[in-house]
């Protein structure tokens, strides 16, 4: 039987973290999440067990904060020896010059670091730790000095969204190879901070800024967290990449924790199965994923683009409202602004103030 | 939990689609749609056609818009073929509805499995490469400007500036030195053409080049 092909596998190498980001989506940081920890033992046998079963040449290491694992270099070296390209998602706080050099030499091909503002106070305020801004910029400088590559992640919240332009400039100046403009996606600790959600108008302005910035600085910018086309006409920003939920698609990024549990993505608590108990191919079989893939809010059923958009991030709906079929917060809180994308739009919605999206 | 009739038909549709796309012969699924004896044949051919076009859908789905159009066309075509069969009395309408449920699930499964959509772009950028000279000069300019505003650590700024100068120095290497570098790369690659990354090469930028880079940066910052 052919091995399932995975474009990427997300591995949560630890739940520990030295930051306290108010926008954090880690499921174990949700107020109602179980408090038990996960094994922190050597995960190389687990990775070997999985990689033996799938055709996967790209792994993203995340956490928590991966740099808190004392054996991270060994994990990177192990993956590199298996010809796997490695992304490392880190807050950069512990990325010294020497460690950056070692990680790049060991095989990290891309670092993903948060850069939330060009202002120290804003960045540090959002991550809840003083010194984080200086640390992440130092990390970017170390990576570049050792000819590594980094992309920065700008989580757009109501607090920092106005800082986007200058933050892109700063990222560019530090040699970032791309920028991920992710609107705040409530989940984990962030589920208790819905006030951080930018408004539709703020998000529209941010996309305008990003569209201009990507051309000005030749910096690829992707908006991975879904933005519903009924709320904002994404065709107005042709130079940006726009993402939608990949669950069940050929680009799905399954998420593995240190206990061997597999989830459809790193935003959902839904566990599809455990790799120590059954084959990976069985865990990601269509019938196992069917409920997750099929979940689309009733509000979105008549929409012409519901197959593509699926209402946004269903994991956010699940975490915030307890139901995969619910409208996720960005849609739920802005549904009166949705513009009809089909003629047969629900009467309850049609005629509400015309088409605010122009 | 027991599957509902709808769920069963959806699962059946997805299974059949998977078989079809794994190059299983149509015989795998024909029993589900074999025309009863006395059927006209043509109408059943019309019903079969959308199933046989699932591989076309898989190809078209690589382009989201084109794939969506094909998806809609196939679903509509399948419904239309079913309606004709019901109208001709060859198929019960309830069974037709089940068949449509199965096909829609199959088509949507094929579309999703092939559509280039993702909410995580891991940014598979190529190995480290020196950016264009104009970008490097712009980086130096912005770095200097933002550093002057005072919210950046001077040591960090110095390290970032040094990297920019190094990269500019690389770009300003004379042709013969660049050729020497290329030769070094080819030699390091060996017969197996196992190309080293730039980071694996022991590059030494001559002091003249570093100085040239510094001058160039100053020049572009209008400090010279």
pLDDT tens readout for residues B212-223 = 656 655 655 566
Task: Look at residue B37 and tell me whether its pLDDT is greater than 60.
Answer: no
Chain A, nearest residue to B197 by Cα = A147
Nearest residue, CB atoms, B142 vs list A138, A173, A246: A173
Nearest residue, CB atoms, A137 vs list B109, B125, B152: B152
Interface of A with B in 315-354 (CB under 8 A): none
Instruction: Give the DSSP H or E segment for A111.
Output: strand A108-114
Does any CB of chain B come closer than 8 Å to the CB of residue A302? no
C-alpha dist (Å) from residue A26 to A14, A116, A157, B131 = 11, 18, 17, 35
**Using one digit for the tens of pLDDT, what is the confidence trace for A211-228?**
999 999 988 899 989 999
Rounded Cα distance, A124 and A115, in Å = 10
What pLDDT was estimated at residue B12? 77
Query: Are A206 and A181 within 8 A, CB to CB?
Result: yes
Band (pLDDT 50/70/90 cuts) for residue B65 is confident
Task: Look at residue A345 and tell me whether its pLDDT is greater than 60.
Answer: no
Task: Determine the average pLDDT of the residues in B106-131.
Answer: 71
The predicted complex's ipTM stands at 0.86
Contacts of A141 in chain B (CB under 8 A): 156-157, 159-160, 163
Band (pLDDT 50/70/90 cuts) for residue B6 is confident
Nearest residue, CB atoms, A173 vs list B10, B132, B139: B139
Cα dihedral across residues A52, A56, A57, A61: positive or negative? negative
What pLDDT was estimated at residue A97? 97
Place of tokens 């078209």: B60
Chain B, nearest residue to A2 by Cα = B22
Q: Which of B210, B42, B163 is nearest to A138 (CA)?
A: B163
Nearest residue, CB atoms, B125 vs list A60, A169, A178: A178
Band (pLDDT 50/70/90 cuts) for residue A357 is very low
C-alpha dist (Å) from residue A29 to A64, A67, A194, A278 = 10, 18, 15, 28
Chain A, nearest residue to B110 by Cα = A249
Residue B24 CB coordination number (10 Å) = 12
Chain A, nearest residue to B156 by Cα = A138
Q: Report the gap between the CA of A355 and the closest CA in chain B (Å).
A: 23
Contacts of A222 in chain B (CB under 8 A): 121, 123
Task: Look at residue A344 and tell me whether its pLDDT is greater than 50.
Answer: no
What pLDDT was estimated at residue B21? 74
Interface of B with A in 116-155 (CB under 8 A): 116-125, 127-128, 131-132, 135, 138-140, 142-143, 146, 151-153, 155
Crossing angle (nearest 10°) for helices A72-81 and A97-106: 20
What pLDDT was estimated at residue B35? 42
Which residues in A55-75 are b (16+ Cβ under 10 Å) and which e?
ebbbbbbbbbbbbbbeebbeb
Verify whether the Cβ–Cβ distance B121 to A290 is below 8 Å: no
What pLDDT was estimated at residue A56? 93
What is chain A's mean pLDDT, rounded? 90
Does any CB of chain B come closer than 8 Å to the CB of residue A130? no
Does any CB of chain B come closer than 8 Å to the CB of residue A163? no
Band (pLDDT 50/70/90 cuts) for residue A356 is very low
Interface of A with B in 67-126 (CB under 8 A): 85, 87, 97, 104-105, 109-110, 112, 118-120
Which residues in B176-207 are b (16+ Cβ under 10 Å) and which e?
eeeeeeeeeeeeeeeeeeeeeeeeeeeeebee
Does any CB of chain B come closer than 8 Å to the CB of residue A269? no
Query: Are A194 and A320 within 8 A, CB to CB?
Result: yes
A198/B63: higher pLDDT: A198
Helices (H), chain B: 5-21, 30-33, 42-52, 54-60, 64-87, 93-114, 133-148, 154-171, 175-189, 207-220
**Using one digit for the tens of pLDDT, what is the confidence trace for B132-152?**
778 888 999 999 999 998 889
Contacts of A296 in chain B (CB under 8 A): none
Cα dihedral across residues A343, A344, A345, A348: positive or negative? positive
- Paired residues of A88 in beta bridges: A61, A111
Rounded to two decimals, the pTM is 0.78
Task: Retrieve residue B196's tokens.
Answer: 């080293």
What pLDDT was estimated at residue B1? 47
Q: What percent of chain B has pLDDT over 70?
A: 65
How many residues can be counted in chain A? 358
Chain B, nearest residue to A112 by Cα = B122
What pLDDT was estimated at residue B39? 43
Task: Look at residue A258 and tell me whether its pLDDT is greater than 50.
Answer: yes
Among A188-192, A197-201, B27-31, top mean pLDDT goes to: A197-201
- Looking at residue A83, the DSSP 8-state letter turns out to be T
């Amino acid at each position: 039987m052919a091995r399932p092909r995975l474009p990427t596998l997300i591995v949560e190498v630890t739940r520990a973290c030295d930051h306290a980001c108010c926008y954090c989506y880690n499921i174990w940081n949700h107020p109602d999440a179980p408090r038990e920890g996960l094994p922190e033992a050597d995960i190389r046998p687990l990775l070997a067990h999985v990689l033996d079963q799938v055709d996967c040449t790209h792994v993203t290491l995340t956490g928590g904060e991966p740099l808190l694992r004392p054996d991270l270099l060994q994990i990177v070296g192990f993956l590199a020896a298996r010809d796997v390209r490695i992304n490392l998602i880190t807050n950069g706080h512990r990325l010294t010059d020497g460690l950056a050099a070692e990680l790049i030499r060991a095989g990290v091909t891309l670092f993903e670091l948060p850069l939330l503002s060009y202002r120290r106070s804003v960045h540090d305020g959002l991550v809840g730790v003083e010194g984080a801004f200086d640390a992440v910029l130092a990390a970017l400088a170390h990576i570049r000095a050792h000819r590594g590559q980094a992309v920065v992640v700008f989580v757009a919240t109501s607090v920092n969204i106005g800082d986007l332009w200058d933050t892109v400039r700063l990222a560019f100046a530090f040699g970032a190879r791309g920028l991920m403009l992710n609107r705040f996606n409530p989940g984990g600790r962030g589920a208790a901070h819905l006030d951080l959600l930018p408004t539709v108008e703020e998000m529209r302005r941010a996309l305008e800024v990003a569209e201009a910035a990507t051309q000005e600085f030749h910096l690829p910018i992707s908006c991975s967290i879904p933005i519903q086309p009924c709320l904002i006409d994404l065709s107005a920003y042709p130079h940006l990449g726009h993402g939608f939920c990949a669950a069940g698609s050929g680009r799905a990024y399954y998420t593995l924790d240190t206990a061997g549990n597999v989830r459809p993505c790193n935003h959902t608590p839904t566990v599809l199965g455990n790799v120590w108990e059954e084959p990976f191919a069985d865990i990601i079989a269509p019938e196992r994923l069917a409920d997750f893939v099929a979940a689309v809010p009733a509000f979105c059923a008549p929409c012409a683009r519901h197959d593509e958009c699926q209402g946004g991030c269903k994991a956010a709906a699940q975490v915030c409202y307890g139901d995969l079929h619910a409208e996720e917060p960005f849609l739920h809180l802005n549904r009166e602004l949705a513009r009809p994308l089909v003629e047969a739009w629900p009467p309850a919605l049609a005629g509400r103030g015309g088409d605010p999206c122009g | 939990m027991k599957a509902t009739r709808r769920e069963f038909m959806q699962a059946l549709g997805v299974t059949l689609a998977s078989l079809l796309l794994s190059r299983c012969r149509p015989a795998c699924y024909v029993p589900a749609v074999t025309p009863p004896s006395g059927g006209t044949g043509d109408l059943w051919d019309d019903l079969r056609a959308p199933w046989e076009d699932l591989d076309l859908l898989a190809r078209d789905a690589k382009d989201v818009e084109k794939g969506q159009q094909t998806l809609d066309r196939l679903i509509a075509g399948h419904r239309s073929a079913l309606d004709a069969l019901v109208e001709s009395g060859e198929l019960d309408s309830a069974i037709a509805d089940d068949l449509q449920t199965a096909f829609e699930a199959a088509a949507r499964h094929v579309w999703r499995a092939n559509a280039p959509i993702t909410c995580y772009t891991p940014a598979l950028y190529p190995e480290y490469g020196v950016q264009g000279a104009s970008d490097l000069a712009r980086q130096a300019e912005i770095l200097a400007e933002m550093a002057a505003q005072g919210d950046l650590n001077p040591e960090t700024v110095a390290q970032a500036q040094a990297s920019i100068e190094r990269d500019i120095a690389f770009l300003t290497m004379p042709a013969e030195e660049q050729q020497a570098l290329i030769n070094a790369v080819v030699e390091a690659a060996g017969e197996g053409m196992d190309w080293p990354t730039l980071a694996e090469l022991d590059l030494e930028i001559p002091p003249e080049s570093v100085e040239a880079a510094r001058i160039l940066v100053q020049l572009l910052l209008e400090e010279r």
